[in-house]
Copies of this chain bind each other. A is one copy, B any other.
Amino acid sequence: MSTLVSVAELGAHVGGEVTLRGWLYNKRSGKNVHFLEVRDGSGTAQIVVGAGDVPKETFAACDALTQETSLTVTGTVHAHPKRPGVVEVHGTGLTVVGRPTGEFPISPKDHGTDFLMDHRHLWLRSKRQHAILRVRHTIIKAVRDFFDGRGFTLVDAPIFTPNACEGTSTLFETDYHGDPAYLTQSGQLYMEAAAAAVGKAYCFGPTFRAEKSKTRRHLAEFWMVEPEVAYMDLAGDMELAEDMLVFIVERVLAERRPELAVLERDVTKLESVKKPFPRITYEEAIAVLARAGNPAKYGDDIGGDEETLISSAYDRPVMVHRYPREIKAFYMKGDPDDERAALCVDVLAPEGYGEIIGGGQREDDLEILTRKITEHRLPLEAFQWYFDLRRYGTFPHAGFGMGIERCVAWICKLPHVRETIPFPRMLNRLSP
């Protein structure tokens, strides 16, 4: 009797008879032998079908097999004659489960990105996409394990929010039983409430931006993790972000080297991601830019190009802290030692990837917060519940947000975030 196994389990069955269920990924045929490459999601295996080893009609049937035929194969497991550590299956039986109705749309030849994205549901079957999916999965699990292991409580933030706190221009709106509702851009305000309840909180879910931008770093729908910690200051916040990134990279290196190899990722770049990360002030960052010939001056926002310039100067993530208050959000706490600066930090990924984390200490003084919201011409009414966090036992606290897709793009070294998420949603992309 043969044992039902996955490709990933084959190595434990050398000498045994097994049955695999999967899809034909590739085929090479000689006069008396077919080499079938079969994938089942756990990996791909070579099935050697010799003319003398199977009934005549089975051997003949192999001629007609096309890419992505679903099938079950029975055979015995052998060590590969030339490649140590690799096994192959000598086929003794084969059953076609589903025969393609036509040629599989994605062939080994080059396709344009639009074509591949139109066929995203089929493109996911490729080795490269498997590798990215698995690295993404490992990063997400690492993030959760990191916070779970440090006593954080998961507090899911709502997706529907009642107010367009910072204007509607980049918000997706929906009709919520007669009232407008907006899709969340960040769970931060809710995490501040959660930190007051459970001390250390995080949320991890999809967030939405209706931006018209069409860059390699933007998605309309992306996943974000947002920790928030009571009684933590900016220095603690930076240490938390640093520890998290080191944890993630270590986990990926420990578990996903085969996938990084598929992606032809230079892992030495990841191996250098160790503590401590450089910490430079915004003012120092401006000086770095000046030395590189960039015209940015104090008070300017640092855009994608500038981030690329700065992050390229380091072999590991760099933390740029204390941006000018004017260019940062109303909830950032001012630096008591520098009236121009906010207690905030952006973490820029190396190799030119730029910002993957933004965070900082939150304004915890009710009066200052009220004044800033008024200055920003935001609707005070919408913030009453948020003010309650300052009214009833206000407390220093800090946190950050990390966009998962940018982190995946960096770790996999992908040129664009669109491949970092299974079904990307962008300006001109809403399907499949």
Contact = CB atoms under 8 A, between A and B. Distances in A.
A41 B199 contact: yes
B151 A194 contact: no
Given A41-B230, A98-B394, A121 B385 contact: yes
17 contacts: A8-B151, A41-B195, A41-B230, A70-B394, A98-B364, A98-B390, A99-B393, A102-B391, A105-B388, A122-B388, A134-B153, A158-B422, A162-B431, A162-B432, A177-B212, A181-B430, A190-B423
Contact of A194 (B148, B220, B422): B422
B422 A42 contact: no
Contact of A393 (B23, B181, B199): B23
List the 9 shortest-distance A-B pairs measured between CB atoms, nearest first.
A41-B199, A98-B394, A70-B393, A121-B193, A385-B432, A124-B197, A158-B423, A68-B393, A41-B198
Copies of this polypeptide in the complex:
2
Interface in A322-379: 364, 366
A392 B124 CA distance: 13
Interface in A73-97: 97
Given A221-B158, A395-B70, A129 B205 contact: no
Given A124-B197, A181-B430, A230-B41, A223 B156 contact: yes
A41 B192 CA distance: 13
B223 A129 contact: no
A6 interface: yes
A192 to B, nearest CB: 9
Given A162-B430, A177-B427, A205-B206, 11 more contacts: A8-B151, A41-B195, A98-B390, A98-B393, A102-B391, A124-B197, A136-B154, A137-B154, A140-B154, A158-B425, A159-B425
B198 A133 contact: yes
Nearest to A21: B231
Contacts of A70: 393-395
Contacts of A425: 158-160
How many A residues are at the interface, by size bracket? 35 or more
A176 to B, nearest CB: 6
Contacts of A194: 124, 422
A250 interface: no
A416 interface: no
A421 interface: yes
B423 A100 contact: no
A194 B136 CA distance: 14
Contacts of A193: 121-122, 124, 432
B148 A395 contact: no
A121 B158 contact: no
B173 A153 contact: no
Contacts of A395: 21, 23, 70, 97-98
A378 to B, nearest CB: 16
Given A6-B199, A41-B230, A391 B101 contact: yes
Nearest to A42: B199
A201 B423 CA distance: 14
Given A70-B394, A395-B70, A172 B162 contact: no
Contacts of A163: 431
Given A193-B121, A197-B41, A392 B141 contact: no
A197 B130 contact: yes
Contacts of A221: 158-160
A168 to B, nearest CB: 11
Interface in A175-210: 175-177, 179, 181, 183, 190, 193-200, 205-206, 208, 210
A155 interface: yes
A421 B156 contact: yes
A47 to B, nearest CB: 16
